[in-house]
Amino acid sequence: MMNSPLPDGEKTEYRVYFLTARQLQQRYIEVRIMSVDTHHNDAPFGTLLGYAPGGVAIYSSDYSTLDPRVYPDEASLRSYIDDEYMGHKWQCVEFARRFLFINYGVVFTDVGMAYEIFSLRFLRQVVNDNLLPLCAFANGSPRPPVAGALLIWQKGGEFKGTGHVAVITQLRGDKVRIAEQNVIHAPLPPGQQWTRELTLRLDDGRYTIQDTFDDTEILGWMIHTDDARDSLPQPTLAPEALAIHAAQRHDGSLFDGHWLNERDPVEQSYVQANQGHVINQDPSQYFTISESAEQELIKATNELHLMYLHATDKVLRDDSLLELFDIPKILWPRLRLSWQQRRHCMITGRLDFCMDERGLKVYEYNADSASCHTEAGLILQHWAERGNGVEGYNPGEDLLNELAGAWRHSHARPFVHIMQDEDEEESYHALFMQRALSQAGFESKIVKGLNALRWDNTGQLIDDEGRLVNCVWKTWAWETAIEQVREVSDAEYAAVPIRTGKPEKQVRLIDVLLRPEIMVFEPLWTVIPGNKAILPILWSLFPNHRYLLNTDFTPNEALTQSGYAVKPIGGRCGSNIDLVSRHEEVLDTTSGKFHDQKNIYQQLWCLPRVADKHIQVCTFTVGGSYGGACLRSDSSLVIKKESDIEPLVVLNDSEFLR
């Protein structure tokens, strides 16, 4: 709900809230209106105030004048340049990212609040997804600030809750000129390319920048450089902040009966698939993590997504690496074309983590056909809100809105066929995604299996109502279609063996997903980050990275000393996994249909056991950034298709550690 404009002459500070969940996830708009006299020269929201160096526009961020008819929802406030997300209009973070993008061709990863930028240590080069070093220097460092550096404020005072970021545009003796948004809302003098001028002091060989506000703290400046002398190390969390705690609701009887709404198609489908109004073995039990832990999950998710993209680019440029993925060579040109043309078209994926006092480690990236969105974004939100609710918040509560926002900027065609297998879990997942598509303004139709699809007289693919199929979102994994290609020898065809007629023949998955005129989500290239063959490549590119586990195509000496997990490269749902201890003892093993595939060997890093359950943390990427989180549990050490999804609640740090 939108706050009304400030009364004339009244000085105050307030916030505009668009989506409750986005605030709680630290991916919200928490807008700070400066303490200003509104009948001075402040310009309405979105007014061009002037330009920073390089011709980068500076806009008014006076939210008291925002017209909800022009900006009716959160998605309308997202700023993009082509397919590159800049931030929310017209906040300080949006300006800083846009300045770097336009002038240097780099961006920093998504953050919830401006002060969080100070914990980042890399930039992404937009043209090739290379990761470049970003060094942080404390205010008071012997390393001087430079033009083009980011200047970061801690949260507090004038920048309560959010912190602030500006760009240093010029150093003139003992003055530092900066450009920024969401501080000054009045037009700049003609030709002036800075918003404020701060004082720079040099005392005993150390540089300190003083703000024009007396209640703020400048953390320091950030410079893209290979010279890390005098820079700050990346901050780390105390081990106890990464723990997972078990908790119990005292109103568990609320979940004894029919507590979901079966008049809702998604919930009705969920109830049918799970044979009742159930979420786990004990719906009164839930698990909590700290707000700092979620912040670490956000940083890890955003950084790992970019690392996976960087590794994908390396793979698709090198035949010897691509060969490791066991993808038929007849598909290689299409893979590379998909990467070239649709690199920014990924809607959603899911990263699977182990998180406990030892740290945060990623197991894999389900990039091309992730699930669990319905449970995290709908079912567990009902659980959290039922009765008197629980203290804290569900970190998946805004997943539907996040997905709708991603679809809105996806370049998908107006009508989307939602393709699913004959699986009850996929049915409610498909309905949930259909809801996101509808919210984003798309028409859609769910197609179960392939029997409803056929060819018309010209060989085009149509559904049972005669509608042309030209845009698809699928629940199927790309590996299923690729396996159909493997069944046909490369020598039999001049190209990918796609049928385009033959009424007596049934439409196969490859006849849909590999037709060149059909836009498929997720794009074909997502089979690369979704294949476990990428894990050894990631380790070689980022050795000893804090979020990665040592992984190789053979059990090397380091792996035999630590123990290892044996995983098929195209495996799914925890199938065909062996966990081997450093004493060569098999700790756990699972069966499945992937036993003939090539394996990778990943450092053994067992899930924590909390309340007699092994707990795995999952985060969702939406549009390439963190979109929420959920928990899965199992009595065994391996999470499988049938494993439970557990309620997860985020508490502020003081409550969590109490």
DSSP 237-249: --GGGG--EEEE-
Going from N- to C-terminal start, the domains of the chain cover 20-223, 247-549+605-657
What is the rounded CA–CA span in Å between residue 465 and residue 450? 14
Give the tens place of pLDDT for each residue, 514-567.
999 999 999 999 999 999 999 999 999 999 999 999 999 999 999 999 999 999
Cα within 13 Å of Cα(490), Cβ side: 7
Number of H helices, E strands in the chain: 15, 34
Instruction: State residue 9's pLDDT score.
Output: 34
DSSP H/E element including 183: none
As given in the structure block, the two tokens for residue 394 are 């569900």
Give the tens place of pLDDT for each residue, 227-273.
999 999 999 999 999 999 999 998 878 888 899 999 999 999 999 99
Instruction: State residue 11's pLDDT score.
Output: 31
Instruction: State residue 491's pLDDT score.
Output: 56
As given in the structure block, the two tokens for residue 473 are 């979102």
| Residue 31 burial by Cβ neighbours in a 10 Å radius (0-12, 13-18, 19+) | buried
As given in the structure block, the two tokens for residue 152 are 């970061």
Q: Are 471 and 418 in contact (CB under 8 A)?
A: no
What is the rounded CA–CA span in Å between residue 267 and residue 498? 37
CA 110 → CA 100, 165, 378, 605, distances in Å? 14, 13, 24, 28
Instruction: State residue 2's pLDDT score.
Output: 31
Give the tens place of pLDDT for each residue, 442-459.
999 999 999 999 999 899
451 C-beta neighbours (distance < 10 Å), count = 11
- Per DSSP, 251 falls in state -
Give the tens place of pLDDT for each residue, 161-203.
899 999 999 999 999 999 999 999 999 999 999 999 999 999 9
Q: Are 604 and 562 in contact (CB under 8 A)?
A: yes
What pTM does this model have? 0.89
Give the tens place of pLDDT for each residue, 314-362.
999 999 999 999 999 999 999 999 999 999 999 999 999 999 999 999 9
Q: Are 529 and 366 in contact (CB under 8 A)?
A: no
Nearest Cα residue to 459 out of 496, 414, 495, 511: 511
Instruction: State residue 253's pLDDT score.
Output: 83
Given the candidates 3.20.20.10, 3.40.50.300, 3.30.420.40, 3.90.1720.10, the CATH classification of the domain at 20-223 is: 3.90.1720.10
Confidence of residue 489 (pLDDT cuts 50, 70, 90): low
Instruction: State residue 597's pLDDT score.
Output: 77
Residue 158 identity (one-letter amino acid): E
As given in the structure block, the two tokens for residue 493 are 């065809």
DSSP 63-85: GGG--TTTS-SGGGGEEEETTEE
Q: Are 336 and 314 in contact (CB under 8 A)?
A: no
Give the tens place of pLDDT for each residue, 110-166.
888 999 999 999 999 998 888 999 999 999 999 999 999 999 999 999 999 899 999
Confidence of residue 587 (pLDDT cuts 50, 70, 90): confident
432, 21, 615, 564 alpha-carbon torsion, rounded to 10°: 80
Task: Check if 630 is active-site.
Answer: no
E strands, 237-323, where?
245-248, 285-290
Selecting among 92, 135, 618, 630, the annotated active-site residue is 92
Average pLDDT of every residue of the chain? 90
Instruction: State residue 79's pLDDT score.
Output: 93
